[in-house]
A and B are shown apart, each in its own frame.
Chain A
Amino acid sequence: MSDASTATPPLLEVSGLGQRYGGRTVLRDVHFRLPAGRSLGVIGESGAGKSTLARLVMALERPSHGQVRWSGRDVNAMPARERRALRPHVQMVFQDPYGSLDPRWRVGRSIVEPLSALPMTESQRLARLAEVLEAVGLEADAATRFPHQFSGGQRQRLAIARALATRPRLIVADEPLSALDVSVQAQILALLRELQHREGISLVIVSHDLAAVEVLCDEALVLRGGEVVEQGAVERVLGEPRHPYTRDLLAALA
């Protein structure tokens, strides 16, 4: 895998990561390093542990083994308050556009929620709200409406706007396209790629859509039954897969 051999630690580093629920091991021995500005695709079928990995990377769960480091700092070895202070740097986009916004809140309020931890004035927050809405291609007056007044694709844009609010260095997206209509998926895909180019954001995208991973990612990691069966540069993994499972996955889509 690519390695930043400078003194600065990678933006995200995961080592020996594993997770068990009760007696069941859902993730075992995952390692990867993600330098700033690079993106990783996590590929696999359902039950392979992709969402668990996403939650562990986001420190929404404690792993049973291994470490998750954000810019070199072990997120699970710090007190909760300190971890919360780091959250502005690492944001998330969820799979279900219908569920990821509080149905009782106006969407503007949801979008600026991540800003509440930062020292900003009210007018600065409103300015940022307008900025991110524009960045995702929505009008400013969208902020006063409720989630149920938007379509699935628009809600996903709102979720992305929320993820952008704090100018994070890393966004983890868990199947951001799969709940959307086909003709809308391409829009969100194009938006994500544009944000990568313009803002230099790193993405960790969990997806079973190999073509989307190819478009958005530099590195790819293939999970099966909680274990990494293959990882490396995305052209190599998708172009010349070594593991039979990866080959099967690709063949199924041909």
Chain B
Amino acid sequence: MSAPLLEVRDLHVHLPGVGGARLHALRGIDLSVARGERLALIGESGSGKTLTALAIMGLLPDGATTTGHVALDGRDLLTLDEDAWCGLRGRRVAMVFQEPLTALNPLQRVLAQVMEPIRLHRLAADRSQARDRAMALLARVGLDDRQARAYPHQLSGGQRQRALIAMALAGEPDLLIADEPTTALDARLRVQVLDLLGELVAERGMGLLLISHDLALTARRVDRLQILYGGRVMEQGDAPTLLAQPRHPYTQALWAARPRLGAGRDQPLHPLKGNVPALTQLGEGCPFAPRCPLATARCVDQPPRFDGRIACWEVSP
């Protein structure tokens, strides 16, 4: 296995809250992505998955404080200023967003938008070479000539998402971060987009950090998974193992809560009780404790111990 392309250790993020309070939004996130590897960060609202991506990209809002270690090919990202970031974003690390309609410029043809990063980062000798590269990229993601010359509103949701992927790839990044790239798409398209991302990652030796709330959809299409809840990593491991034998109560509950297709109308349902905690409601202990069937007093008071696989007091290694 190659040395990690992206390495994140003990990442903490504090956000400004109402009335001057500081909210501890990310509590010690560790993760790594190697070249050619696909890692999925799974979480619900408030889990911190998007914040993690923003922290890596240096896109946190003003007033947020970050501590810890975030490095791309060994280069520390947390100490970079905006100028240094401009050279990196798009070129070494690129991001694909959730809502393609708002992420694309409605007044520019798709081809022009894909050409922009190419020219910006001087990856082509001249305009016509840039155009050729852009067309090739768009073809690779499955958009033909006509679609390439279209405006975003003339394309379907799936086509727009592909265009966004082409734009992200135009800078030839080493790391691609995709934040809920399929939420706005339909079931069949989701699978296609994820498969496409997987292929591109393998072809180009990129790393992929995929952020999603859909465990079932992503689990079979990535190499490793991390389950986030309340700003902490609850469980992590390679996808097949996590799929077959989830060990953390939260992961197990997520799996069990989904109805199974084919299990019939009267299949028993096992919903999780309670609500996802808001940032302001998190204390020092395990964020899942209020809803966990195994919770003890220790779970409520003390942050769960992470053994490399799961963060839990009650489940033994």
A and B touch in their complex, CB below 8 angstroms: yes
* Contact residues in A for B189 (Cβ distance below 8 Å): 45
User: Could you tell me the distance between the alpha carbons of A184 and B45 in the complex, rounded to whole angstroms?
Assistant: 11
- Of B127-135, B139-147, B250-258, the one with at least 4 CB within 8 A of chain A: B250-258
A85 to chain B, nearest CB (A): 34
Interchain CB contact under 8 A, B187 and A183? no
Interface of chain A: mostly helix, strand, loop or mixed: helix
* Contact residues in A for B271 (Cβ distance below 8 Å): 183, 186-187, 189-190
Q: Judge if B157 is at the interface, Cβ distance under 8 Å.
A: yes
Q: Count of A residues near B, CB < 8 Å?
A: 34
Interchain CB contact under 8 A, A181 and B276? yes
Within A232-250, which residues are at the interface with B (CB < 8 Å)?
234-235, 238-239, 248-250
Interchain CB contact under 8 A, A182 and B213? yes
* Contact residues in B for A46 (Cβ distance below 8 Å): 157, 186
Interchain CB contact under 8 A, B186 and A151? no
* Residue in A closest to B278 when the chains form the complex, CB atoms: A151
* Contact residues in B for A234 (Cβ distance below 8 Å): 265
Interchain CB contact under 8 A, B261 and A189? no
Q: Judge if B269 is at the interface, Cβ distance under 8 Å.
A: yes
* Residue in A closest to B157 when the chains form the complex, CB atoms: A46
Q: Judge if A120 is at the interface, Cβ distance under 8 Å.
A: no
* Residue in B closest to A188 when the chains form the complex, CB atoms: B271
* Contact residues in A for B63 (Cβ distance below 8 Å): none
Q: Which A residues form the contact surface with B (CB < 8 A)?
A: 45-46, 151-154, 181-187, 189-190, 193, 208, 210-212, 214-218, 234-235, 238-239, 248-250, 252-253
Q: Which B residues form the contact surface with A (CB < 8 A)?
A: 44-45, 157, 186-191, 213-215, 253-254, 257-265, 267, 269-273, 275-276, 278, 291
Q: Can you identify 23 A-B contacts, CB atoms within 8 angstroms?
A: A45-B188, A154-B275, A181-B45, A181-B213, A182-B213, A182-B215, A182-B258, A186-B259, A186-B270, A186-B271, A189-B269, A190-B269, A193-B269, A208-B187, A211-B259, A214-B263, A214-B265, A215-B265, A215-B269, A238-B261, A249-B187, A252-B190, A252-B191
